[in-house]
Structure 1
Amino acid sequence: MLFYKDKIEINDSDQISIVIAARNEYENLKKLIPLLKTQTHQNFEVIVVDDRSEDRSFDLLNKFKEGFPQLKIIRVEEMKENWNPKKYALQLGINQTRSKIILLTDADCVPISNRWVSIIHGQYESETSIILGVGLYQKRHGLLNVFIQFETLYTAMQYLGFALIGKPYMGVGRNLSYRKSIILDSGLFKDIQNITGGDDDLIVNKVGNKRNVRIVINKESQTISEPPETFFEWYRQKIRHLSVGVKYNLENKVFLGTLNFSHIGFYFCILILSLLKIEWLFVSVVYLFRILALTLIIYFTNKKLKAGFPVMATPFVDILYVFYYVVIGFASISTRKILWK
């Protein structure tokens, strides 16, 4: 990924449909819709599906529509039985699109540039079905935000890197595009209709391959979101994200399981060697070698994506990541009911 360069071919005449599922997102929609309105792409539509919002979201959207003819609003008044609310909202939105290409983002995201739509669209080639974009978080003060920046960067490094070697397994719904046909032809949403989460990674996991998936990392192609402000908010978000991992295909489970096991196993071995009073110099050299290699990889990835992670925090946050993966991993498996909003 460090040497990867995006293909930038702009064709504004081809249509693309932006689909957003929103519930009680008044403040976020107030920021997002004006930025979508300023996109330079000449042929696009925005479909916002309001899932029974109890704030003023629906009224706000109707006000925006007066000066934004590309905006289409769908209101969900009643849930369909056996459907997850977000899946149902996205399905309604996708069914109403006019174009062959769908671009997904969340209501709490904003595009970094007014060329976001054009650059994402410009990645498509004849065989391409899915575009994996980058979705970052705003930099804020505090340990939680430092960890969020690290986890976001680490996750991006994995899913973008795996896609480049022909093993795509996920994307992020904050910045993901695919052809409408892969949803309609495969009936994917029906397979995952009652699951909270998975509208991004399970789709990539099921139909993505080395020929039909491309990545885009250009700064102008990225979105950025407000990060969770409290531990509980972040915890609930990560439970939702990780809970769908058990539904990945076997090959991806093996790849990711091996990667995470090696991460956890490294620190376990360091602890055992220390307790056994193995020569401290040997243990220190092993630890420093891995941390130096990881820090360099994080540094260059951070630079490539122009992310905001403080790289010098890598040694400390990497240890926290082990505890995070063990605790959140078990919690995501044992939690029965996971809510969207």
Structure 2
Amino acid sequence: MLSVLLLSFSPAIWLLLATVLVQLYYAAYYFWPFATRPPEPAPTEAGAEPVSVLVCAHNELDNLRRLLPLLLRQEYPADLEIVLIDDRSDDDTYLYAQQLSQYYPNFRLVTIGRTPDGLSPKKYALTLGIKAARHPQLLFTDADCIPATNQWVQHLAAGFRQPADMVLGYSAYATEPGFLNKLVRFETLLTGAQYLSFAWRGQPYMGVGRNLAYTRAVFTSTKGFASHIRSLSGDDDLLVQDAVAQGARVAVVAEPAAHTLSEPAGTWGGWWRQKRRHLSAGRSYRLADRLRIGNFIGSNLLFYAVSLALLFSRADWIPLAGLWVARTGLVCATYQRLSRRLDDPLPVALLPVLDVVYFFYYLALGMSLFLYRNLRWK
């Protein structure tokens, strides 16, 4: 009887089941073990090396007034240098930096007057900042971020002792009212779950410049940003790609004390432009990484596409409902556990809705990048 029932299912149901099994694999091998791993040990003073924290800013005085004091108050047992790279700002960034340098001997300013034609402004500015930094271990964040705690430097720098040449951290977005904020945070959680858990499994492919660290030796081994210096995006993920190709060891530091916190996009258009810029670098990833990410994204998109088609087939409603219940339980359990582990909670009841909206939004972004590739930078 059971075999007859199974044979009566349409090929679309079997395809839908295959997509769920693919997603189950990612949850069981990457996401759930990463979310339930033991807490990372607290950093100790023993073995702490001097570090330089680099921040690149273009007309971000208000953000710098919030960020720099927090960086200067970081607790770190070894020498800590803060390097501000003023990238062609025409506000009062220079004057503010000069005031700080009078009171904090460990604060330094690197000023960029112009960017050579054809080069990415941020990558050019970061290159000059890295050359000016005094220490070989370099930590990076963005001007519109803040460290979650005054232990951020300690935790992120401790990743070098695993040992590692690069350290990947997690950067969350602030909680605000509205559906867009929840969707932005869901996308951030899902992206973080992928690049952190993949790296934890020995398959690193990207990081985020809001919370990233690497050694000067790694930067030198990749010849800096040379392979993608003309691309506006990729100062973080494409550098990780190049570094891994050169044999760099990558560590993950994902304790809440090591997070950074950013202000999310306040409009759909702002988030659209931001995500277009971030996703544009993906075409330069290694084939294995594109396949690994593509299988996960593609299985989710295919699940929804097949489900829509099956809504018009009354004979398949029962197995369709069963697979939807199973997948919804899988999504809620896995993403809730990840959000707790990364201290980035989202309403459990809203997770299935966010999942649907996100993957259709992702499809629209992919089509947009295929049809219209022009990008803008500040």
TM-score in terms of structure 1 length: 0.96
**Equivalent residue for 2:73?**
38
- The answer to which of 325-334 and 224-233 deviates more is 325-334
Taking the aligned partners of 1:219 and 1:62, their CA distance within structure 2 comes to 33
Alignment check: 8 A CA contact 2:166 2:248 kept: no
Q: Does 1:27 align with 2:62?
A: yes
Once the two structures are superposed, the pairs formed by residues 250-261 of structure 1 within 5 Å of their partners are: 250-261=287-298
Once the two structures are superposed, the pairs formed by residues 182-331 of structure 1 within 5 Å of their partners are: 182-208=218-244, 212-331=249-368
Alignment check: 8 A CA contact 2:163 2:249 kept: yes
Q: Using the TM superposition, give the Cα deviation of residue 219 of structure 1 relative to its aligned residue in structure 2, in angstroms.
A: 1.0
**Equivalent residue for 1:11?**
45
Q: Does 1:62 align with 2:98?
A: yes
Alignment check: 8 A CA contact 1:136 1:223 kept: yes
- Deviation string 1:236-279 (CA, Å, 9 cap, x unpaired) is 11011000000001110111111111010001111122112233
Unaligned stretches of 5+ residues in structure 2: 1-33
Root-mean-square deviation (CA), in Å? 1.6
Taking the aligned partners of 2:315 and 2:248, their CA distance within structure 1 comes to 48
Alignment check: 8 A CA contact 1:83 1:193 kept: yes
- Deviation string 1:148-200 (CA, Å, 9 cap, x unpaired) is 01000011111111111111111111100011111112214111111112111
Size of the aligned set, in residue pairs, is 341
Q: Return the letter of the residue paired with 2:83.
A: I
Please, which of 96, 115, 127 is the counterpart of residue 132 of structure 2?
A: 96
Taking the aligned partners of 2:229 and 2:45, their CA distance within structure 1 comes to 34
Alignment check: 8 A CA contact 2:336 2:345 kept: no
Task: Tell me the SS of whatever aligns to 2:311.
Answer: helix
Closer, same or farther: CA 123–7 of 1 in aligned 2, 3 Å: farther
Closer, same or farther: CA 178–43 of 1 in aligned 2, 3 Å: same
Unaligned stretches of 5+ residues in structure 1: none
- Deviation string 1:266-306 (CA, Å, 9 cap, x unpaired) is 01111122112233222111011111101101111111111
Q: Using the TM superposition, give the Cα deviation of residue 139 of structure 1 relative to its aligned residue in structure 2, in angstroms.
A: 0.3
Alignment check: 8 A CA contact 1:49 1:73 kept: yes
Taking the aligned partners of 2:231 and 2:248, their CA distance within structure 1 comes to 28
Alignment check: 8 A CA contact 1:168 1:213 kept: yes
Please, which of 198, 211, 217 is the counterpart of residue 175 of structure 1?
A: 211
Taking the aligned partners of 2:345 and 2:52, their CA distance within structure 1 comes to 30
Taking the aligned partners of 2:348 and 2:81, their CA distance within structure 1 comes to 39
More helix by share: 2
Alignment check: 8 A CA contact 2:127 2:224 kept: no
Taking the aligned partners of 2:305 and 2:105, their CA distance within structure 1 comes to 58
Task: Tell me the SS of whatever aligns to 1:66.
Answer: helix
Task: Tell me the SS of whatever aligns to 1:332.
Answer: helix
Percent identical residues:
33
**Equivalent residue for 2:177?**
141
Q: Using the TM superposition, give the Cα deviation of residue 127 of structure 1 relative to its aligned residue in structure 2, in angstroms.
A: 4.2
Taking the aligned partners of 1:211 and 1:21, their CA distance within structure 2 comes to 24
Closer, same or farther: CA 99–211 of 1 in aligned 2, 3 Å: closer
**Equivalent residue for 2:108?**
72
Taking the aligned partners of 2:159 and 2:360, their CA distance within structure 1 comes to 37
Alignment check: 8 A CA contact 1:243 1:333 kept: no
